[in-house]
Amino acid sequence: MKIQDFLEHHGIAGNPFAEEEAQNDAVFKRSCLETTFHPAWDKIFGDPSEPSTSIVFGEKGAGKTALKLQMLRQYQAHADSGPEAATFVVLYDDFNPFLDRFVSRVGLSRPVERVLSQWKLWDHMDAILALGVTQLVDRLLTMPARDVPTLSASQSRDLAVLAACYDQSTAEPFPKRWRQLRQRIGYRRPAGLWPLAVGILATVVMAAALLYSGKQGTLSWTSLWWPWILLVGAWLPWGWRRLRSLWRSLRIVRSMRTGNRTIGQLSRALARMPEVDLAGQPLPQLPRSDDRYELFTKLQSVLGACGYGGMVVIVDRLDEPHLINGSAERMRQVIWPILDNKFLKSPGLGFKLLLPVELYRFIEREDEAFNQRARLDKQNLVPSLEWSGETLYDIASMRVQAASVGEPPATLAAFFDDSVDKRRLLDGLRTVRVPRQLFKFLYRLLVSHCHAHTSEQPVYQIPIERFDSVLAVYCRDQDAFDRGLAPR
């Protein structure tokens, strides 16, 4: 008996339990994305008009990525719903490029744990600024010119500085992209042309004098040293400015251990900005968070002028980078610096940290100093993303209805015969704990039932014996996998 025959008998197109990852789940995106939420959704998501921080711990398959997709959809719906300002959402869910650059700067030959122990709060801040600035520049460059918001002179300067340091797009060369941005936002201030003009004028005069002396046969004065000193002096202001830009760029690149800007690129960009625009401005020249806090404030000011009422950073997939490779200790080294109450409670800035449940065990063992710095009691903490049997049943039922093409829509209960009552079904689903395991179990159950019958004598309802036997084997395999004893 084919599983397609079983599903078609119940009026279902496609297997609603075939996908295990929300990122690629068409059924989830089509129907469940806006209808099926975790019971703690309100605490996690909060009010989109007032960005807030929440920290969620969940085991693999508990729905952290689904939460991320639902939050993205709700923030977009909030932006489209009315006159309220939209929320600028930054997805901080790919740590690979930042960790790779960090390791290459700190030491490729050193043990990974020792390298990651040097990961600090300002490394997170640089990474988030890079994502946010790149995303904002992309939007400004792709929107019609008539829709580009009007920025004040200080906001244009701030965005130009932020883009020079943090725009990490690889779509086109940085000099071209930075020039287009300055034109788009109206930042066209010349960087003081007189030093270059003086140098060029002195060079032209010197060349003319040499040419004239050569024609007159009076080149003896060229042995004098003072004309050359005057020429060098004429170029000195331009050279000094270039040297200052080079030194400033060197310090920024050394301090930004997660960045991809080269010294030459940054030096040429800063040299094109008037010195008065850079004097006294916060630049990420030192390994500290103070300057980054001010840069976040400047970015939020620019976002406000662009029509955004707040900024939210969603952190996910911490266990996936190849340098971490699922290690709880390495995850702790990377994410612990961001657990700083001052940063997490920055005005107008919210964080949604979707973290593996293994990290919560470290929190339980932390000392008073960590608790005072992180103040997790203020962060809308969800210690475990748990699902009840009733909620898992609702999720499975919604998926069946979403894949149904008949009238009335199919139900999950119709898959089972009368020997599987509602209470037994709920108790059985409760043992699989999380949505991903739920889908795996139901998929295995359908396959097992269909393999036990022929197409000539099909059976379109699953008996209690089949349900219990498949559930027992699945729970045993799941327990072995959780203890690292067997693959699943």
* Angstrom distance (rounded) from CA 337 to CA 124: 8
Predicted confidence at residue 7, as pLDDT, reads 92
Please report which confidence band the pLDDT of residue 362 belongs to, taking 50, 70 and 90 as the band edges. Answer: very high
* Angstrom distance (rounded) from CA 310 to CA 49: 7
* Angstrom distance (rounded) from CA 22 to CA 2: 26
* Angstrom distance (rounded) from CA 72 to CA 356: 20
Q: Give pLDDT tens digits for 451-464.
A: 999 989 999 999 99
* Angstrom distance (rounded) from CA 371 to CA 252: 32
Q: Give pLDDT tens digits for 44-91.
A: 999 998 999 999 999 988 989 999 999 999 999 998 887 677 999 999
Q: Give pLDDT tens digits for 25-42.
A: 777 877 777 778 888 999
Largest distance between two CA atoms of the chain: 116
Q: Where are the domains of the chain?
A: 3-10+387-482, 50-187+289-382, 194-272
Q: How far is CA 199 from CA 202, 225, 264, 271, 354, in A?
A: 5, 18, 22, 16, 57
Residue 222 has pLDDT above 60, yes or no: no
Q: Give pLDDT tens digits for 139-164.
A: 999 999 889 999 999 999 999 999 99
Cβ atoms of 138 and 130 within 8 Å: the answer is no
Predicted confidence at residue 215, as pLDDT, reads 63
Predicted confidence at residue 280, as pLDDT, reads 86
Residue 130 has pLDDT above 90, yes or no: yes
Please report which confidence band the pLDDT of residue 220 belongs to, taking 50, 70 and 90 as the band edges. Answer: low
* Angstrom distance (rounded) from CA 340 to CA 288: 14
Predicted confidence at residue 202, as pLDDT, reads 72
Structure tokens of 358? 């293994």
Q: How far is CA 227 from CA 196, 203, 231, 240, in A?
A: 18, 11, 6, 20
Residue 193 has pLDDT above 90, yes or no: no
Amino acid at 332: R
Amino acid at 404: S
Predicted confidence at residue 30, as pLDDT, reads 74
Q: Is the dihedral of CA 25, 29, 32, 38 positive or negative?
A: positive
Predicted confidence at residue 265, as pLDDT, reads 92
Three-class SS string for 250-279? HHHHHHCCCCCCCHHHHHHHHHCCCHHHHC
CA count, 13 A, side-chain hemisphere, 438? 27
* Angstrom distance (rounded) from CA 21 to CA 42: 23
DSSP string, 316-338: --TT-STTTTT-HHHHHHHHGGG
Task: Please tell me which residue, 261 or 228, carries the higher pLDDT value.
Answer: 261
Residue 192 has pLDDT above 70, yes or no: no
Residue 194 has pLDDT above 80, yes or no: no
Q: For residue 357, how many other CB atoms are within 10 A of its CB?
A: 18
Task: Please tell me which residue, 285 or 488, carries the higher pLDDT value.
Answer: 285
Burial 62-93 (b: 16+ CB within 10 A, else e): bbbbbbbbbbeebbeebbeeeeebbbbbbebb
Cβ atoms of 166 and 259 within 8 Å: the answer is yes
Instruction: Determine the average pLDDT of the residues in 341-370.
Output: 94
The three-class DSSP label of residue 382 is strand
Q: How far is CA 253 from CA 101, 174, 256, 264, in A?
A: 12, 15, 5, 10
Lowest mean pLDDT, pick from 11-25, 173-187, 385-399: 11-25
Structure tokens of 36? 């099926």
Angle between helices 96-106 and 121-142 in degrees, nearest 10? 130
Nearest to 395 by CA among 423, 363, 434, 358: 434
Average pLDDT, the chain: 88
Residue 240 has pLDDT above 90, yes or no: no
Lowest mean pLDDT, pick from 13-27, 104-118, 159-173: 13-27
Instruction: Determine the average pLDDT of the residues in 240-249.
Output: 86
